[in-house]
Structure 1
Amino acid sequence: MTGPNQKPPGDGVPPSDPTVHWWERPSADAAGPGQADPTILRGDLGGYTPPPAATPYPSSTGDPYQQANPYAAAAPPPPSYYAQPQPTPQSAPYAAMPQQQWGAPPRPPSSSNKVVWWILGGSFGVVFLLIVGLVVLVNSGDGDNDPFGVDSSEWAGDYQFVEGTNACDLIDLTVLNQWSTTRETTTHTERGPSEYSGGGSYDCDVRNKESGRTGSEASLSLEVEFKSSYEDESDYARWKGYDTKTTGKDYDNGPVSGLGSEAYYASRQVTYTTLPNDYDFIVAAHDSNISVKVKLDVSTMGGFDKTTMQSICEAQVRKVLAALKK
């Protein structure tokens, strides 16, 4: 044990000095610094030199225990949680991974809407120009050479529909005067051909009638039909099949020569004892693209003149063919 005036053991190094480690202390039996073990760090340590006192870290609070941190300058700055994350650089050929973005997606530039409208407007403009070009081509070109036109050869022929012609003007209505001179009704219909399928027709019905229960009566009817692209058989063929199907004592029919390419007649008579007798006579013809049928009906107390009625009907058919010939 040492007193206050005695030299501390260990070459003057107090045992309580925390700055000197145990291996730095000289052995108690060492003769001097030259005899220190060279394997011991600081073996040449001489007398005890107390360490310099630490300078208090200046503080506004005046805390004497607050020590300076020599590594404070090297400390990294605290991370910013609001900074934009930086992508980790990677060497080729690997591309950087996309970074996750938070919040609302970025608004596309307004110019993209203008581009879309320009594209749509250009498309509509091209379609409009194509339609106009086709219309001009169809209207300006020749119908026979126009690839988009209609092939009228399916129904065209030696006869044609004449616009503005009254159907009753195609026949002679005065032929009825030999039985009756009083006009009761006159009706007519004209239907023009279709631009795409042809056709067209004329119809006329005229009736003369005398007054009284036994007064004579006569009527004349006309049917004209032009060929169309959708018909399977001519109107002439349909008429003939219906008008000649009934035979017997009061019925007669047969061919007519010199009238179109083909023609027929058909007649019917019904006699009474106290009422006027009824006589019907039909003549129909077909030629090229036209079918014409004329029917004469007579009701009279007199007899039946078959030759006169046939002559009248044939003349009307011939008149119609001449009026509509190209």
Structure 2
Amino acid sequence: MTDYRRDEPPTNPFPAAGYAQPPAKPRRTGWIIGGAVALVVVLGIGIAVGVVAGQPAERPPERAAVPGYSMDHVGNACDLVDPAPLQKWSPTPKGPPKHEEVRPSEHDAGSLSCQLRYTGSDTLNTAEILLDVDFTEGTAPSSYASWKRGTLAKTGEGKASGPITGVGTEGFWHSEVFGELVADTRYVLCAVDENVSVRVRLNFSRTREVAQMHRTEVQPIAEAQARKALNGLKGIR
């Protein structure tokens, strides 16, 4: 039989010189994926840094304000009182001074009180001074607010009230005069400043035969006593 298939030329395993096959092109798929991942990482870091940089710096904790007044300088509340003006009318002490110092604790911001009493040759003519100091912590209401509310509610014949300036940040005065055979004069001055409330009470009893007390005489005494107390609570002598 005759084989009609065409004879194929044998394959040359060695290509002719000058006709070398071009090298295979590198595969870019891995590079592209790696570059994309790197870009995402860089963008993520940039966004995180931007967010952190955009946040306000953490503020250091604020220090609590140091109270302006303290009873640390006071061993005896009556050291804050000057009795000399009262001795003009009643020069003789009537009993020993009474005082109390309540030191600050977790339940109390602290307080001071003093009472001095004087008399004269006529025992009906007396003079008395009382000092009250109350401290306040934080947002607690001051004693000044309570004193003002209660004192100014007293109105009527023989009573008068008004504001005080130049003593603390706020203050008021109140006076009462009553009695027939003996005239009793009650004068109150209250002031508040920062963390302390101060109250000065002056009480006078005078027979009708002697000169009576007037606010123009009493008010300067009360103001001076309040200032002396405030200065003493700041360690100023």
TM-score, length-scaled by structure 2: 0.67
1:159 to 65, 69, 73: 69
Compute the RMSD of aligned alpha carbons: 2.4
Q: Is the 8 A contact 1:152 1:198 kept in 2?
A: no
Shift of 1:306: 1.0
Q: Distance in 2 between matches of 1:161 and 1:152?
A: 21
Local SS of the residue matching 1:313: helix
Deviation, structure 1 residue 220: 0.2
Confirm or deny: 8 A CA contact 2:74 2:232 kept in the other structure.
no
Q: Which residue does 2:149 correspond to in 1?
A: 241
* Equivalent residue, structure 2, for 1:168: 78
Shift of 1:308: 0.8
- Aligned residue for 2:135? 226
Is residue 2:229 matched to residue 1:306?
no
Amino acid at match of 1:193: P
d(CA) in 2 for partners of 1:324, 1:170: 8
Give the AA of the match of 1:293: R
Following superposition, the deviation at residue 210 of structure 1 comes to 2.5
For 2:145 and 2:74, how far apart are their aligned partners in 1? 28
| Distance across 2 between alignment mates of 1:206 and 1:266 | 20
Which amino acid letter does the alignment assign opposite residue 228 of structure 2? K
Contact 1:197 1:228 in 2 (8 A): no
Counterpart position of 1:201:
111
**Gap change, CA 1:152 and 1:166, over 3 Å in 2:** farther
How many angstroms does 1:211 deviate by? 4.8
1:13-61 per-position Cα deviation (integer Å, ceiling 9, x unaligned): xxxxxxxxxxxxxxxxxxxxxxxxxxxxxxxxxxxxxxxxxxxxxxxxx
1:294 correspondence with 2:200: yes
CA contact (8 A) 1:179 1:298 kept: no
* Contact 2:73-2:233 within 8 A present in 1 as well: no
Q: Structure 1: which 5+ runs fail to align? A: 1-144
The structure carrying a bigger strand percent of its residues is 2
Map 1:205-220; keep pairs closer than 5 Å: 205-212=115-122, 215-220=124-129
Q: Deviations over 1:87-128 (max 9, x none)?
A: xxxxxxxxxxxxxxxxxxxxxxxxxxxxxxxxxxxxxxxxxx
Q: Does 1:254 align with 2:162?
A: yes
Q: Does the 8 Å contact 2:80/2:232 carry over to 1?
A: yes
Q: Deviations over 1:189-229 (max 9, x none)?
A: 011111x456111100011123546x310000000011135
Letter in 2 for 1:292: V
TM-score, normalized by length of structure 1? 0.49
Please tell me whether the aligned partners of residues 163 and 192 of structure 1 are also in contact (alpha carbons under 8 angstroms).
Answer: no
Matches within 5 A, 1:15-94: none
SS of corresponding position for 1:158: coil
For residues 217 and 228 of structure 1, the distance between their equivalents in structure 2, rounded to whole angstroms, comes to: 37
Write the distance in 1 (CA, Å) between the matches of 2:216 and 2:140: 34
Count of aligned residue pairs for this structure pair: 172
Is the CA contact (8 Å cut-off) linking 2:73 and 2:232 kept in structure 1?
Answer: no
Q: Where does structure 2 lack aligned partners over 5 or more consecutive residues?
A: 1-59
Residues 164 and 295 (structure 1 numbering): CA distance in 2 closer, same or farther, change over 3 Å? Answer: closer
Runs of 4+ aligned structure 1 residues displaced above 4 Å come to none
Identity of aligned residues (%): 34
Deviations 1:1-21 (A, max 9, x none): xxxxxxxxxxxxxxxxxxxxx
2:99 alignment counterpart: 188
The 3 A distance-change label for structure 1 pair 152 and 300 is farther
Aligned with residue 281 of structure 1, among 180, 187, 203? 187
Matched residue of 1:199: which SS?
Answer: coil
Amino acid at match of 1:283: L
Are 1:263 and 1:284, in contact at CA under 8 Å, matched by a contact in 2? yes
Contact 2:74 2:233 in 1 (8 A): no
| Corresponding residue number in structure 2 for 1:319 | 228
